[in-house]
Structure 1
Amino acid sequence: MTSICVFGAGAIGGLMAAKLEMAGTPVTVVARGPHGDALRTKGLTLLSEGQETVTRPRVATDPKEIGPQDYLVLTLKAHSLLPAMAQLKPLIGPNTTIVAAINGVPWWYTYKLGGDFDGRRIESVDPEGKLTADLPPSQVLGSIVYPAADVVEPGVVEHTYGDRFSLGEPDGSRSERATRLSELLIKAGFKAPVRPRIRDELWVKLWGNMAFNPLSALTTATLDRLIAEPGTHAVCRALMVEGQQVAEKLGVKFAIGVDKRIAGGAEVGAHKTSMLQDLERGRPLEIEALLGAVVEMAEWVGVDMPIGRTVLALVRQRAAMR
């Protein structure tokens, strides 16, 4: 039996855990606070497509109790990884596949990248190489998260849209571990393609997040207003063009144009970005993985990002003055 642990079983992690359990794949979850307490006492309730389903994944209070897993799925935000490392270490053995279902530029990004920047540390997301040391990139399987979900109350996850978790090896190979996880996710009702160029897909999602998230935190505007207003639309677009220049210097190929990506964001409607939600709730902001790392890599490849540097400085100060 394949052992799977979802660490940080909030909205996305809870959705994945619930659907896997419903499909007959046992899952262990690690969750904190009132949400974790509710999972232990009442189970995990999933609201999706007009249906309410209660599952009872195993809830670990101490990761040492369950030990190394075949798959460790990380659904934390990037800045939460280092504080969680003491809990993560007992779950990782030499054969554990670390599934990085995390937004933004990940710590493993340059592993097997090829070219001049192969293996170079991104200080913004991996200060002093601490993540690389404890979460070895050789054990990482990349994942791009498309579903949207919310924890509407402790122990209750509402799935609002999306059903795809793209997977990909950093070196582009179609590995047995990627194929096996893809099969399990497909059985659970998700789309789970294994991509040979996972960084291309990573950038299409990051492309919007690097602009929409910080600008929404600075303006408090929902996504529809941010894009509809000509001034903020222009800032979003210019920032995304800067990001595209960085990505292409790193070998990324964009399957769509910038205006189509912005239009995709507009279709989401009156949505508060995750960074704006975190700002309103007094939580740390996901600044470095979404924008700080892009500005850092821009320096590597000789791309000037005046708008990116400006927005980054402003949103860092906004977070500090929260």
Structure 2
Amino acid sequence: MKVCIYGAGAIGGYLGVQLAQSGADVSLVARGAHLAAMQQNGLKLLIGDEERVVKVRATDKPSELGVQDFIIICLKAHSITGAIDAMKPLLGSHTRIVTAVNGVPYWYFYKHGNQFEGRTLESIDPGARQWNELGPERGIGCIVYPATELEGPGVVRHVYGDKFPVGEASGETTADVQNLSKLLEAAGLKAPILDRIRDEIWLKLWGNVCFNPISALTHATLDVIASDPATRALAKAMMLEAQAIGETFGVKFRVDVERRIEGARKVGAHKTSMLQDLERGRPMEIDPLVTVVQEMGRMTGIPTPAIDSVLGLVIQRAKVAGLY
């Protein structure tokens, strides 16, 4: 099976090394100094005191790679629409697209059922281009739980975690999702197949919708946000709004809000991805993590006053920094 990791940054690079070391036929799409370093010296993964280096095909011209069995998208969600045209040469009649991205994937309402079947989300898929040009039927969900960092061009550091749950929109255990799970597990990763992948999407989104923007506004780490009474209460209010929306779509939350916040507190002095982007001058992932929940609230008629307020503030913060 041919696998292309589209966006071989920190998470994509981690996947690339693990897959390459397991013997998978993997190629990487990247750009800039990171790509140049991988082409010249290979891709280095640091896990604790161990170094793993692989020489793997890396390019900024996806058309060189041919049709793939799996495209694992590891781009920031707001970057996907701009990559559609470059991605098309990788697509064949059997190609599956694995959305290893934060937030809600473009195919979310494919085989969803009820009155929301076939709906698209403007905040994450402007003009429904991903839905229409990539195709929702290609999508396979993938939740990214590991934390990794791009330490320098061609160098990825693994911080913690190895779990990538996967699942079909329909909840079926298809041959494709079984092959994907086996591929990832052969690479030393945990990839359980979930029959309710949307529940897991929301469980991660539940924390992202509040902790990311609050951290970008306050510059506080997770332990501080979840311990300070004011920011903890704000996070809880945002999460309860999000939970009401998710449950309208049939989502089941397997932990309660207090336990979810406590889990974030126990992560410790961790900077969220949105805060890291702000500090490093990179576009902030606001629409896929926050605006999309507001949009889904509008779809369901559920008011989101706490989310609206924080979203307005973090968008203004990003605009002032030139990162939105």
Question: Shorter chain as normaliser: what TM range?
Answer: over 0.9
Give the aligned residue type for 2:319: A
Is this contact kept in 1: 2:141–2:197, CA < 8 A?
yes
Is this contact kept in 1: 2:35–2:59, CA < 8 A?
no
Q: Give the distance between the partners of 2:158 and 2:135, measured in 1 at CA.
A: 31
Task: Give, in angstroms, the shift of residue 94 of structure 1.
Answer: 1.9
Q: Identity over aligned residues, as a percent? A: 49
Q: Give the distance between the partners of 1:294 and 1:283, measured in 2 at CA.
A: 22
Partner of 1:304: 303
**Superimposed CA distance per residue, residues 14-63 of structure 1 (whole angstroms, 9 cap, x where no aligned partner):** 00110011111121001111111100000011111421111111112421
Q: Give the distance between the partners of 2:60 and 2:199, measured in 1 at CA.
A: 37
Give the aligned residue type for 1:146: Y
Task: Look up the SS of the partner of 1:5 in the other structure.
Answer: strand
**Superimposed CA distance per residue, residues 142-185 of structure 1 (whole angstroms, 9 cap, x where no aligned partner):** 10011110010111111111011000000100010100010111
Q: Give the distance between the partners of 1:128 and 1:86, measured in 2 at CA.
A: 14
Partner of 1:103: 102
Is this contact kept in 1: 2:31–2:59, CA < 8 A?
no
**Superimposed CA distance per residue, residues 54-112 of structure 1 (whole angstroms, 9 cap, x where no aligned partner):** 11111124211112200000000110112222221111122111000000011111111
- Would you say 1:8 and 2:16 are equivalent positions? no
Partner of 2:277: 278
Give the aligned residue type for 1:276: L
Q: Give the distance between the partners of 1:36 and 1:60, measured in 2 at CA.
A: 7
Q: Give the distance between the partners of 2:114 and 2:49, measured in 1 at CA.
A: 49
- Would you say 1:232 and 2:238 are equivalent positions? no
Task: List 4+ stretches of structure 1 deviating above 2 A.
Answer: none
Query: 1:1-322 maps to which residues of 2 (within 5 A)?
Result: 2-322=1-321
Give the aligned residue type for 1:242: E
TM-score by length of 1: 0.98
**Superimposed CA distance per residue, residues 220-268 of structure 1 (whole angstroms, 9 cap, x where no aligned partner):** 1111111111101110011001100000011000111111111111121
Q: Give the distance between the partners of 1:202 and 1:152, measured in 2 at CA.
A: 27
Task: Look up the SS of the partner of 1:284 in the other structure.
Answer: coil
Task: Look up the SS of the partner of 1:259 in the other structure.
Answer: helix
Give the aligned residue type for 1:259: E
TM-score by length of 2: 0.97
Q: Give the distance between the partners of 2:87 and 2:283, measured in 1 at CA.
A: 20
Q: Give the distance between the partners of 1:285 and 1:59, measured in 2 at CA.
A: 26
Aligned length: 321
Q: Give the distance between the partners of 1:127 and 1:303, measured in 2 at CA.
A: 22
Is this contact kept in 1: 2:290–2:307, CA < 8 A?
yes
Is this contact kept in 2: 1:26–1:57, CA < 8 A?
no
Q: Give the distance between the partners of 1:31 and 1:62, measured in 2 at CA.
A: 9
**Superimposed CA distance per residue, residues 292-318 of structure 1 (whole angstroms, 9 cap, x where no aligned partner):** 111111111121110011111111111
Is this contact kept in 1: 2:81–2:126, CA < 8 A?
no
Larger CA deviation: 158-167 vs 120-129: 120-129
Q: Give the distance between the partners of 1:151 and 1:98, measured in 2 at CA.
A: 24
Task: Look up the SS of the partner of 2:98 in the other structure.
Answer: strand
Larger CA deviation: 85-94 vs 115-124: 85-94
Q: Give the distance between the partners of 1:210 and 1:286, measured in 2 at CA.
A: 11
Is this contact kept in 2: 1:223–1:273, CA < 8 A?
yes
Is this contact kept in 2: 1:246–1:297, CA < 8 A?
yes
Task: Look up the SS of the partner of 1:142 in the other structure.
Answer: strand
